[in-house]
Chain A
Amino acid sequence: MTEPALTYSPEPGSLAEDDRLALAAAGDDPRAFAALYDRYFSRVYNYIRFRCTNADLSDDLTAQVFERALEKILTFDADRGSFGGWLFGIARNTVNAHWRSGFWRLWLPEERLHSYPSGDPTPEENLVSQESRNALLEAVRRLGERERELVSLKFGARLTNRRIAEVCGMSESNVGVTLFRAVQKLRVRLEGSNKGK
């Protein structure tokens, strides 16, 4: 069996390499931020997509996350935590601010408040069919807010439970149990619906 085209590692590259790139981006190398962007784009995008489901909105919020990160790159301090944790802190605040504001929702026609999945063709390398992904997204959307946040941080952002606990201000064991229950709920809903077919 061939290895999946999609590969993640919990911390892209080594932590030290990320921190070095972040320092270079804050210093004098514009390509350094682009390198960080390449490393983190998929994880940030997937995290946001799991949380808000709408493709256009995910694009918009992902752009905001990286633009804010670039603006604040001088404030990144490797002694206080990893670049990934810092970046996902910005991502989480951006999504929370979006929902909190209520304002942006007024800009979206009602039909777009809940996502319509993108009509783009599914790339060949995609491992999960469009139909399954839509069903999965819908099931995730029906989770409670906290469960959806944890599923997004785990499967979208690929953070370790320890990092999720830091980002969300929860205990690591609480993260684990909540995540376990959330996946069980998804299993009941998705497998139940498949059986019904």
Chain B
Amino acid sequence: MDEREQSKRYNQELERAIREGKQRDSKMDPITRALLQTDFSSESRVRDPLKESLIRKSAQQIAEQNRRRRLGMGLKWIFRAAVVVGVIALAVLGFDRVYRLGLAPQATQTVGVVSTGPVLETPPVAATEAQAEPTATPQTTSIPGPAVAPIVTAGQVVELQWSLDGQWLGFKTRTQEQADQAPAGPGTVSPEEWTVNFLNPRTGESCQYAMENPQGLKIGEWYTWRADGSLLTLDQNRRAAALSSPCTTDPAVPFRGFPEFIDSILLVDSQRNLFLTSGQSGCYLYDARQGRSYRLEHCTQDASFSPDSRYLGQTLAFDQVSYATEIVDTTSGEVTGRLDWTFSEGGLGSLPGPQWIGPERFLIVRTDQGPLLVTLGEGLVAQKVADELLGLPGSSANQAAAAAQATGNDPYHIGMWDIEQGRSWLYHSEDGSSEELDAPGVRLSQDGRWAILERLVQVEGYEQAQTWVRLVDPLGGEPRQVPGATYSAYAGWAPGMERVAVASESNGQTAEVRVYALPDLDLAQGWLVETATSLFPLVWSPDLAYLAVTNQTSPEGAQILFLLAFQ
């Protein structure tokens, strides 16, 4: 029997099984039966609250329709009465006298009202350069073996974190048995289950911390790296403490003045000196340099520090629509500004903290008025990115923006995209100009030099994502396609944007990882990796010497860590 005939029979049988509700039909193969029997909807956390919300909205919508309907009926009757009066007047007084009395139809006046209103013009958008047409991802040659062998195999391997000097790699693991019992992510598994591992790939030194360890350190719960290679974590009293090196036998040194009863550390600044914490006694901002803490009224994970750590910005959510951005001076703990805004499509997701562009400027990436550029001064001064920077007619909740940090008075750039229209733009602060990009989405690299474009192309009648890059400079040239990259978030962008790593889909046994050098995107190195599942994430060491990669949980449940050395 040929494939077409097999397919026909299979589909007939499948449609019959669905139609008759026979998920356990023995004639179907086990995989089809499993697919038919699988129901995830019991895992939904929104089913009941969403229903209540929809019933309320539906009632409001119907009430509004009825109000409009009644208004429409009223206007209809007024119009009919006016017509009757007009006809009677014409009949009694004659056309000339009616016209002079102003009872004639008001068409000319109506046109006049429209023509005197504000005229919306299409904004002056810089001409888009002639750009290469998106095409299907080019084929690449195969990477020769042998395949890279795994470093670690466990039930789960998550949270890859390089030390800031690139010497150590930290990662969390759970056993296969633990993962089988509760196959869940780090946020939903008790910290006690995680083992934290540290590995120095140059020296081969390694160590592990279970949640219960002789030093009483709660590394499985929280840790972060400091610039000097030391490690910050919580001690047995839940106070911040520093280890000089992850595998040292020296005791941890506690931080003086650290607030007590810490449940969690929500945010740490880039220098690892400022800590935003929450606990039973409230929210605190702790300054390790001063050894003192400030009590704050609010604290949230949706927060960020300005690049110079002078300010803390937080996105406070009051309900699913009303939000505020609050700015706290980190030298005094005082709230120095607050901006209220709405985002009707916020739904159940959280909104990120302010995206700082410089020491005194940040972006609120999405609101009902589109993205807002906010400047600190006498209060917070907000500008709508779409209207006021890009000169586009109208701001909306469909617009979102991204920017990168700039130091001092350096020029900055803002990428904005409209989700509904599938269009994107780039704003240049050097001269206030803007340009429309030939892509539905744009992000900026961390160093602010590169625009990363996501395009969607039709391949065999189906949408496929592609990633392209170009310099943000107005004369940055034509975008170049990153070979093999689909969505930009899946690529491994090196710090400094000198390179980008891209993993291919696994063929069931191996996948290929290729590193391309920017700006020309020449192939710099490639590896064949032993994995039955796709590779993600691809995490560069800060010194670009290594690429740490895990695969996705395989059907057998195991997750694998690979370490790829760049030469």
Contacts and interface: CB of A to CB of B under 8 A. Distances in A.
A181 B419 CA distance: 33
A197 B557 CA distance: 11
Contacts of B59: 30
B440 A118 contact: no
Nearest to B6: A180
A167 interface: no
B62 A127 contact: no
A102 B418 CA distance: 11
B158 A111 contact: yes
A16 interface: no
A142 B11 contact: no
Contact of B10 (A30, A183, A194): A183
A20 interface: no
B35 A155 contact: yes
A70 B489 contact: no
The dominant DSSP class at the A interface is: helix
Contacts, number: 262
A170 B461 contact: yes
Contact of A132 (B34, B158, B464, B537): B34
A101 B350 CA distance: 17
Given A59-B44, A106-B402, A196-B556, A119 B189 contact: yes
Given A130-B183, A193-B554, A183 B43 contact: no
Given A102-B488, A106-B402, A116-B188, A37 B352 contact: no
B19 A134 contact: no
Contact of B57 (A70, A103, A128, A149): A70
Contacts of B15: 10, 160-161
A103 B419 contact: yes
Given A8-B18, A136-B35, A59 B441 contact: no
A42 B39 contact: yes
A14 interface: no
From B37, B66, B185, residue with most partner A Cβ within 10 Å: B185
Given A4-B24, A138-B533, A193-B554, A101 B417 contact: yes
Contact of A33 (B29, B43, B55, B422): B55
B35 A158 contact: no
From A10, A66, A105, A142, residue with most partner B Cβ within 10 Å: A142
Contact of A176 (B7, B34, B40, B462): B7
The dominant DSSP class at the B interface is: mixed
Interface in A153-179: 154-155, 158, 160-161, 169-170, 176-177, 179
A155 B6 CA distance: 19
A34 B49 CA distance: 12
Interface string B539-567: 00000000000001111110000000000
Nearest to B45: A59
A77 B422 CA distance: 26
B18 A60 contact: no
Given A37-B51, A105-B487, A119-B182, A145 B7 contact: no
Interface in A67-119: 67, 70-71, 73-74, 96-97, 99-107, 110-114, 116-119
Contacts of B454: 100, 102
Given A177-B3, A187-B29, A30 B58 contact: yes
A170 B463 CA distance: 13
Interface residues of A, number: 102
From A33, A71, A102, residue with most partner B Cβ within 10 Å: A102
A70 to B, nearest CB: 6
Contact of B39 (A126, A146, A170): A126
Given A97-B419, A106-B489, A189-B555, A151 B35 contact: yes
A155 B347 CA distance: 27
Contacts of A8: 18, 21, 23
A139 B537 CA distance: 18
Nearest to B47: A41
Contacts of B348: 59-60, 63
Contacts of A58: 40, 44
Nearest to A36: B54
Interface in B81-109: none
A83 B188 CA distance: 37
Contacts of A191: 30-31
A55 B44 CA distance: 7
B154 interface: no
Given A119-B188, A197-B556, A31 B34 contact: no
A4 B23 contact: yes
Interface string B435-465: 0000011010000000000101000111111
B556 A193 contact: yes
Contacts of B275: none
A34 B51 contact: yes
Interface in B146-173: 158-159
Contacts of A42: 39, 41
A45 B182 contact: no
Contacts of B345: 64
Contact of A55 (B43, B533, B554): B43
B555 A128 contact: no
B314 interface: no
Contact of A70 (B10, B61, B365, B533): B61
B185 A176 contact: no
Contacts of A132: 34
Interface string B508-526: 1000000000000000000
Contacts of A142: 505-506, 533-534
Contacts of B508: 188-189, 192
B244 interface: no
Given A99-B487, A138-B554, A160-B15, A145 B35 contact: no
Contact of A34 (B32, B43, B58): B58
A197 to B, nearest CB: 6
B23 A100 contact: no
B41 A45 contact: yes
A145 B464 contact: yes
A145 B185 contact: no
Nearest to B534: A142
B183 A117 contact: yes
Nearest to A188: B508
Contacts of A6: 23, 37, 39
Contacts of A120: 42-43
Going nearest first, the 5 A-B pairs with the smallest beta carbon separation are: A116-B185, A119-B184, A193-B555, A180-B7, A127-B37
23 contacts: A29-B62, A30-B62, A38-B51, A41-B44, A60-B347, A60-B349, A67-B57, A70-B54, A99-B487, A103-B441, A111-B158, A111-B159, A119-B185, A131-B180, A131-B557, A138-B552, A138-B553, A179-B14, A180-B6, A180-B10, A190-B31, A190-B555, A191-B31
Given A7-B23, A10-B19, A161-B15, 11 more contacts: A6-B37, A41-B41, A41-B47, A100-B440, A113-B537, A126-B42, A155-B38, A180-B3, A187-B29, A190-B31, A191-B31
